[in-house]
Amino acid sequence: MDKDLSFEEALKKLEQIVSRLEDEDIPLEKALKTFEEGIRLSRYCNKRLDEAEKRIQILTQDGDLTPSEWTD
């Protein structure tokens, strides 16, 4: 997988894979390869989200901004 892929690009590709697997009648071997790509993209997206969450936690610990203030 391309390491320069943005979260948004990876998520879009993952959505396309899910749609393909749900809607298309594809051979088993191709479906498995597509599923594997989806798993890799899912893990990549989860990793990026975890990193963002950690950054937010650091920022809110050191400053006056709390997550509840973001919704106001």
Give the global pTM: 0.75
User: Using an 8 Å Cβ cutoff, are 38 and 27 in contact?
Assistant: no
Cβ of 41: how many Cβ atoms within 10 Å?
22
Cβ of 44: how many Cβ atoms within 10 Å?
19
In the chain, where the domains are located: 7-70
pLDDT attached to residue 57: 87
7-70 topology per CATH: Helix Hairpins (1.10.287)
Residue ranges of the chain with pLDDT lower than 70? Answer: 1-3, 62-72
pLDDT attached to residue 20: 93
> How distant, in Å, are the alpha carbons of 2, 19, 24, 37, 46 from that of 28?
25, 16, 11, 14, 26
Look up residue 27 and give its amino acid.
P
User: Using an 8 Å Cβ cutoff, are 44 and 1 in contact?
Assistant: yes
pLDDT attached to residue 24: 80
